[in-house]
């Protein structure tokens, strides 16, 4: 049952965006988020939408993947939209029925919020679609490395993230195995009532914890055997380097930034 | 009467995805009550998938599995009964131990069956004895035991349900030679005492020939052959062609046969080989 879960959302490919330096991608994604929040009106957001669409076309990620990334946010989006529509009471009255009154400002705000959230999620998903989790943690480490000077354990944090990511599929497989073993001993994980199923979790979690600790210990030993002693003086096999395409990407984002500022100035 | 029977059993992993893989392809087998069956096959030949169908952990994509003549698919109540009737010991079963004491862990299955504390106690003591676990170990935490002891405690946990069929997936993997021998020794005594059906999955032929009445050879999701142990090993060449190693002694005898010594095709234990060679030598000496 757990085999269906895909880890992260990395979608391998060889588009321009896939090939970009992950550090640049990460920074530009942050800039993209700021850009969306700078937009003060719907025209500014149109620029944001255009940016998202063009970027997706460049990345050649299939449309179905984008829909998949939107699925989990549908409840939140609907909730904020409904809240905005019914509770903002300024502007002209559009429609009313008993105690329900809908104003034009409310509709505007609702549309604005929905578009912004969708853009935000879909746009930032592009980063995780085109960058493998390992590259991403690597990029985070590099970007945060100045913090090492003030004593922040940046390398250690990045290493922990990498290891955690690496072991998620292993632990999923392990859980599956233990679940089957306990089912074979009659635990009611798939046949019992809800209460029985919850009680059946104990025999799963204890062996899972035990084996995680065992794995952690083994891994630590294996790392020490290979002379791992933290990040100091460590060199890398894969060096990150920026190429002209990364600078093009910066210009591309800058253009859209400018677009939004212009929109903000023209349409008050 | 057959205790396990499959009818055109087919199982497909990841149907409707790009990773679609047929793990079992029209498997028709019949296992009789009281038999010891060895299941061998290469990694990915479908042997583990097959045994997980026998206690309902996997549902056939098509075809049927009959346990004691009954089809239990889709019936939750029967499914549970089948799980107690067919005990399944997974590979590395020691990773399923979770209770505070070995005693409680062995009693987990019987408790799920709804047995009274007295009955449970009898079951635990019996299976501890069958697996050769000393009573002093029962009050210890399972995590204090040695590797081999943990393995036996985990097997005892399944035996305690007193299943009509006991299935073991690679019961001796990861143990040292002495540990392996002890596990197989233990299984043999268990079978002698309980006389129930046993299925043992292994890729060590040496181990399996010592105990199995019949051998089921799986290859690429299909039944390659299912016959008496002796007959299976007379097809040594075919087995080697699908990548299975026959026991060392069988290989030696077959080479000797090729060199002109007529020692028989069906030799798979050292003892039998010894007898054959001695009688040959005697005959040769006389002639």
B79 interaction partners in chain A (CB closer than 8 Å): 190-191
Q: For chain B, first and last CA: distance in Å?
A: 49
Q: Is the ipTM of this complex over 0.95?
A: no
Which of A11, A185, A218 is the mutation pick for testing B, counting most B CBs within 10 A? A185
Contacts of B81 in chain A (CB under 8 A): none
- What whole-number distance in Å separates Cα of residue B269 and Cα of residue B282? 20
In a domain, A139, yes or no: no
Over the stretch B89-108, which tens digit does the pLDDT of each residue have?
999 998 889 899 999 999 99
CA dist A107 and B164 (Å) reads 68
Look at residue B137 and give its three-state secondary structure.
helix
Say yes or no: A37 and A163 in one domain.
no
**Taking CB atoms and an 8 Å limit, are B112 and A185 in contact across chains?**
yes
Yes or no, beta carbons of B97 and A177 under 8 Å apart: no
Residues of A whose CB is below 8 A from B74: none
Contact B276, B253 (CB under 8 A): yes
Nearest CA in chain B to A180: B57
Q: Are residues A37 and A111 in the same domain?
A: yes
Cα distance between residue B232 and residue A229, in whole Å: 55
Task: Indicate the pTM of the whole model.
Answer: 0.74
Q: Name every chain A residue with its beta carbon within 8 A of the beta carbon of B113.
A: 186
Quote the pLDDT of residue B287.
46
Q: Are residues A173 and A208 in the same domain?
A: yes
Residue A144 located in a structural domain: no
Q: Are residues A44 and A84 in the same domain?
A: yes
A208 domain residue, yes or no: yes
Please tell me if residue A213 touches chain B, with a CB cutoff of 8 Å.
no
Please indicate, yes or no, whether residues A81 and A174 belong to a single structural domain of this protein: no
Split at pLDDT 50, 70, 90, the class of A1 is very low
Find which of A179, A186, A205 to mutate to test the B interface (most B CBs within 10 Å of its CB): A186
With bands split at pLDDT 50, 70 and 90, how would you rate the model's confidence at A5? very low
Strands B165-169 and B197-201: parallel
Where in chain B are the domains?
Answer: 2-239, 247-287
Specify whether A221 is located in the same domain as A247.
Answer: no
Number of domains in chain A: 2
Tally A–B CB contacts below 8 A.
62
Read off the tokens for A38. 């700078």
Residue A140 domain-assigned?
Answer: no
H/E stretch holding B48 reads helix B47-53
* Same-domain check for residues A58 and A91: yes
Residue A268 confidence class, pLDDT cut points 50, 70, 90: low
Fold classified for B2-239:
Rossmann fold (3.40.50)
Q: CB distance A185–B96 less than 8 Å?
A: yes
Segment B218-269, tens digit of pLDDT: 999 999 999 998 888 888 788 888 888 788 888 888 888 888 888 877 777 8
Burial of A183 (0-12, 13-18, 19+ CB in 10 A): buried
Helix (H, G, I), strand (E, B) or coil at B286: helix
pLDDT tens-digit readout, A174-211: 898 999 999 898 887 766 778 877 777 888 999 999 99
Same domain, A49 and A169: no
Which residues constitute the domain of residue A16?
Answer: 2-131+243-266
- Do A111 and A8 lie in one domain? The reply is yes
Both A51 and A126 in one domain: the answer is yes
Buried b (16+ CB within 10 A) or exposed e, B52-79: bbbbbbbebeebebebbeeebeeeeebb
DSSP state of A229: -
Residue A146 lies in a domain: no
Alpha-helix runs per DSSP H in chain A: 16-19, 22-38, 42-59, 63-70, 74-87, 104-130, 133-144, 154-184, 194-199, 202-225, 244-266
Residues A110 and A20 in one domain: yes
Which of B14, B80, B96 minimises the CB distance to A181? B96
Does residue A143 fall inside a structural domain? no
The answer to whether residues A58 and A185 belong to one domain is no
């Amino acid at each position: 049952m757990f085999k269906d879960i895909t880890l992260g959302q990395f979608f391998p490919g060889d588009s321009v965006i896939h090939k970009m330096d992950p550090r640049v991608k990460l920074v530009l994604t942050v800039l993209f988020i700021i850009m969306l929040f700078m937009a003060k009106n719907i025209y500014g957001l149109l620029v944001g939408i255009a940016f998202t669409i063009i970027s997706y076309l460049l990345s050649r990620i299939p449309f179905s993947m984008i829909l998949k990334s939107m699925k989990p946010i549908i409840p939140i989006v609907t909730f904020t939209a409904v809240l905005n529509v019914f509770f903002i009471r300024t502007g002209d009255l559009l429609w009313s029925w008993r105690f329900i009154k809908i104003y034009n400002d409310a509709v505007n705000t609702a549309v604005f919020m929905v578009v912004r959230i969708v853009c935000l999620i879909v746009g930032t998903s592009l980063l995780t679609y085109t960058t493998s989790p390992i590259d991403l943690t690597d990029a985070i480490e590099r970007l945060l490395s100045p913090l090492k000077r003030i004593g922040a354990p940046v390398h250690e944090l990045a290493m922990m993230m990498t290891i955690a990511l690496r072991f998620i599929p292993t632990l999923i497989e392990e859980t599956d195995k233990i679940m089957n073993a306990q089912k074979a001993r009659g635990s009611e994980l798939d046949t019992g009532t809800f209460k029985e199923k919850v009680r059946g979790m104990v025999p799963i979690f204890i062996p899972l914890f035990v084996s995680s600790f065992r794995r952690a210990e083994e891994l630590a030993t294996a790392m020490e055997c290979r002379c791992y002693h933290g990040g100091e003086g460590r060199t890398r096999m894969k060096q990150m380097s920026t190429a002209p395409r990364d600078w093009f990407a910066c210009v591309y984002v800058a253009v859209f930034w400018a677009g939004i500022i212009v929109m903000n100035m023209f349409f008050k | 009467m057959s205790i396990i029977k499959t009818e055109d059993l087919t199982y497909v992993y990841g149907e409707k995805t790009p990773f679609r893989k047929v793990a079992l392809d029209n498997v028709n087998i019949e296992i009789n009550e009281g038999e010891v069956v060895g299941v061998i096959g290469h990694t990915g030949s479908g042997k583990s998938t097959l045994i997980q169908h026998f206690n309902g952990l996997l549902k056939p994509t098509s075809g049927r599995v009959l346990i004691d003549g009954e089809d239990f698919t889709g019936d939750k109540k029967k499914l549970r009964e089948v799980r107690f009737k067919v005990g399944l010991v997974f590979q590395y079963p020691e990773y399923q131990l979770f209770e505070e004491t070995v005693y409680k862990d062995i009693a987990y299955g019987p408790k799920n069956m709804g047995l009274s504390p007295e009955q449970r106690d009898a079951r635990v003591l019996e299976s501890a004895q069958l697996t050769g676990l000393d009573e002093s170990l029962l009050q210890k935490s399972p995590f204090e035991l040695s590797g081999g002891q943990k393995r036996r405690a985990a097997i005892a946990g399944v035996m305690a349900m007193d299943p009509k069929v006991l299935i073991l997936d690679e019961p001796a993997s990861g143990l040292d030679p002495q540990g392996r021998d002890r596990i197989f020794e233990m299984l043999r005594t268990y079978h002698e005492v309980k006389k129930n059906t046993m299925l043992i999955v292994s890729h060590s032929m040496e181990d399996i020939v010592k105990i199995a009445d019949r051998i089921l050879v799986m290859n690429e999701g299909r039944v390659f052959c299912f016959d008496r142990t002796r007959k299976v090993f007379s097809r040594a060449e075919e087995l080697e062609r699908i990548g299975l190693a026959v026991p060392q002694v069988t290989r030696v005898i077959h080479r000797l046969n090729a060199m002109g010594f007529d020692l028989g095709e069906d030799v798979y234990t050292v003892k039998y080989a010894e007898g054959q060679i001695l009688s040959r030598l005697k005959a040769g000496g006389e002639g």
